[in-house]
Amino acid sequence: MTTSLHHRAIENLGTRIVSGNLPAGHVMLAEQLEVELKVSRSVIREAVRVLQSLGLVETTKRVGIRVLPPSRWNPFDPQVIRWRLASDARGAQLRSLAELRAAVEPAAAELAAQNAPAPLRLELVDVAYAMRDAGHNGEVPRFLELDIQFHSLLLSGSGNEMFANLMGQVAETLTGRTVHGLMPDHPHEAALQWHVDVAEAISRGDSAAAREASDRIMRRTMSQMSDTWTEQPRVFIPVRR
Amino acid sequence: MTTSLHHRAIENLGTRIVSGNLPAGHVMLAEQLEVELKVSRSVIREAVRVLQSLGLVETTKRVGIRVLPPSRWNPFDPQVIRWRLASDARGAQLRSLAELRAAVEPAAAELAAQNAPAPLRLELVDVAYAMRDAGHNGEVPRFLELDIQFHSLLLSGSGNEMFANLMGQVAETLTGRTVHGLMPDHPHEAALQWHVDVAEAISRGDSAAAREASDRIMRRTMSQMSDTWTEQPRVFIPVRR
DNA sequence: GAGTTTTGATGTCTGCACACATCGGTGTCA
DNA sequence: TGACACCGATGTGTGCAGACATCAAAACTC
């Protein structure tokens, strides 16, 4: 009752498709889904429309509802990301997000140093120092919270709405990293200082220093996580012409 | 006739919302939309469901269909990007995409040098040299085509499906740049060589050189376009806690 | 001001007509 | 006789109309 029926239908089909349970090329009939999910046609139709806009299925007359291959999915949609994180491809999704983050955050730091509003800069500095303290004291949950806030502020301060939109996904990777025990109780001392460096550089408008310090953080986290990813298969999306 | 009714309804409402014609907070009634667009209720409902999944509207009982502020839109959705490119915010959208591209492409080049399949590397080299020739001969349309192909191959070769998915948007920015007369008839000589450098570096698996050459290309294009963007207002998305 | 009732919009279900892609049969021609 | 083009039957999504259920905002009562 808490969520609407069509929403539940979307979740059901979305998770099954992304998990590979419903493979690409598999065709379903609207009528069959009605009885399977025990909902009416209108609910099915609304759910299919949303899945269609996400690139997960296509509908063809006289054929039915066909599941599309992963290369057609919208990899930036929050729902698709969530479903992938809940599937066997969780590792590959985390790597993709981490690579994206590693590319974007230094650029965001550079832009934030140029454009961020003054209050945001001040808050960023406060959070960086609070992070350092929490890290020294081994307060893991508080450190995670501040870490998410720091990187959210950084992305938001870039003034690029696409960068800012990655906040949610970044939070996923950070929490995922701590939940999976990939974070030590006491974060690396240099990394803590680099966060402070980023905040201070942004605060004084030094875009080059901000980018460089952020880049250092990203390179460290990437090298830290790369060990666990080597076995993840990479997917090459063909070029559409 | 070629497009379905619900698709036309999505286009109609999507363009009007993104253009600001239907401002944030504006509420509509499904019944009212039926008569306005002269379609049945089911068409309206399916369209609203899709717009809801894009974060453009929310539905509340007893209130209606409320338009959400831009901070809630999904800035990575291809439809949203297309609507923004067709609106007054075209400049801001192009800048966001260019900033994203500038951040991602060097990282993609680095990854491609490590992971790209052999045939893709060869094709990339061919395209780079073809680009250089087309640039020297002032064949503008052919150059644009090859330019798009080059950067598509690069992103695709990274093996990161999120990077690869930016192909379409990158094509938009490149065509938009030439259409708007921002491209000279004879591209910068050094830039042409940098493209070759990227391809060669990827071909021989030199990830550092690939990143550096790609970074040079990006820095040049950004500085080239920055003049036209200075007047575009930046939007700061608040941090959600 | 707190609790209750009313109200009005979305949410869900159902039956029907239509459009149209696919498939198989029919007819024509070589 | 065989190959091919045509064409109608069939099945499925698409669109429509109307009914009832649900639930939260708003009005009302105490």
More confident residue, A233 or B83: B83
Nearest to A51 by CA among A34, A20, A72: A72
Q: What is the pLDDT of residues B145-184, one digit of tens each?
A: 999 999 999 999 999 999 999 998 888 788 877 777 777 7
Q: How many domains does chain B have?
A: 2
Task: With respect to residue A237, please indicate whether it lies within any of the assigned structural domains.
Answer: no
Give the one of A104, A159, A240 whose C-beta lies nearest to B234's C-beta. A159
Q: Which residues of B touch A104 (CB under 8 A)?
A: 100, 103-104
Structural tokens at position B114: 């490590």
Q: What is the average pLDDT score of chain B? A: 91
Q: What is the pLDDT of residues B97-143, one digit of tens each?
A: 999 999 999 999 999 999 999 999 999 999 999 999 999 998 989 99
Is residue B112 domain-shared with residue B54, that is, in the same domain?
no
Residue A99: which CATH number? 1.20.120.530
Residue after which a domain boundary falls, among B72, B107, B131: B72
Strand D proximal to A45 Cβ, under 7 A: yes
Q: Which residues of B touch A106 (CB under 8 A)?
A: 103
Distance from CA(A214) to C1'(D4), angstroms, rounded: 69
The pLDDT of B223-231, averaged and rounded, is: 78
More confident residue, B230 or A63: A63
Report the pLDDT value the prediction gives residue B241, as an integer from 0 to 100. 66
Handedness of CA A237, A238, A241, B3 (dihedral sign): negative
Disruptive mutation site among A43, A236, A241 for chain B (greatest number of B CBs within 10 Å): A236
Q: Say yes or no for a CB contact (<8 Å) between A236 and B53.
A: no
Give the one of A46, A153, A158 whose C-beta lies nearest to B239's C-beta. A153
Q: Say yes or no for a CB contact (<8 Å) between B115 and A79.
A: no
More confident residue, A121 or B233: A121
Is residue A27 domain-shared with residue A62, that is, in the same domain?
yes
Which range among A184-188, B61-65, B75-79, B205-209 shows the weakest confidence by mean pLDDT?
A: A184-188
Is residue A129 domain-shared with residue A214, that is, in the same domain?
yes
Is residue A18 domain-shared with residue A54, that is, in the same domain?
yes
Q: Is the pLDDT of residue A12 over 90?
A: yes
Q: How far apart are CA B238 and CA A12, in angstroms?
A: 32
Task: With respect to residue B23, please indicate whether it lies within any of the assigned structural domains.
Answer: yes
Report the pLDDT value the prediction gives residue B2, as an integer from 0 to 100. 57
Q: Which residues of B touch A108 (CB under 8 A)?
A: 103
Q: How far apart are CA A166 and CA A149, in angstroms?
A: 13
Residue after which a domain boundary falls, among A72, A106, A126: A72
Task: With respect to residue A79, please indicate whether it lies within any of the assigned structural domains.
Answer: no
Q: Which residues of B touch A75 (CB under 8 A)?
A: 161-162, 165
Q: Is the pLDDT of residue A232 over 60?
A: yes
Q: Is the pLDDT of residue A35 over 50?
A: yes
Task: With respect to residue A82, please indicate whether it lies within any of the assigned structural domains.
Answer: no
* Cβ-contact A52, A59 below 8 angstroms: yes
The pLDDT of A195-221, averaged and rounded, is: 97
The pLDDT of B47-70, averaged and rounded, is: 92
Report the pLDDT value the prediction gives residue A1, as an integer from 0 to 100. 47
Q: Is the pLDDT of residue B234 over 60?
A: yes
The pLDDT of A104-113, averaged and rounded, is: 98
* Cβ-contact B205, A132 below 8 angstroms: no
Quick one: closest CA in B to A7, which residue?
B49
Percent of chain B topping pLDDT 70: 98
Q: What is the pLDDT of residues B26-37, one digit of tens each?
A: 999 988 998 888
Edge-to-edge strands of the sheet including A27-28? Answer: A27-28, A64-67, A57-60
- For residue A158, give its domain range: 89-229
The pLDDT of B53-71, averaged and rounded, is: 92
Strand D proximal to A67 Cβ, under 7 A: no
Distance from CA(A3) to C1'(C9), angstroms, rounded: 18
Q: Are strands A64-67 and A57-60 parallel, antiparallel or unpaired?
A: antiparallel
Q: Is the pLDDT of residue A21 over 90?
A: yes
Q: How far apart are CA A105 and CA A121, in angstroms?
A: 16
Residues 25-44 of B with CB under 7 A from strand C: 28-31, 41-42
Task: With respect to residue A213, please indicate whether it lies within any of the assigned structural domains.
Answer: yes
Disruptive mutation site among B13, B42, B49 for chain A (greatest number of A CBs within 10 Å): B49
| DSSP structure string for A30-55 | HHHHHHHHT--HHHHHHHHHHHHHTT
Angle at A148 between CA A188 and CA A198, to 5 degrees: 60
Q: Which residues of B touch A153 (CB under 8 A)?
A: 239
Is residue B101 domain-shared with residue B60, that is, in the same domain?
no
More confident residue, A181 or A213: A213
* Cβ-contact B6, B47 below 8 angstroms: yes
Distance from CA of A131 to the nearest CA of B (A): 17
Residue after which a domain boundary falls, among B18, B37, B72: B72
Please report the number of interchain residue pairs, chain A to chain B, with beta-carbon separation below 8 angstroms.
143
Q: What is the average pLDDT score of chain A? A: 90
Distance from CA of A76 to the nearest CA of B (A): 6
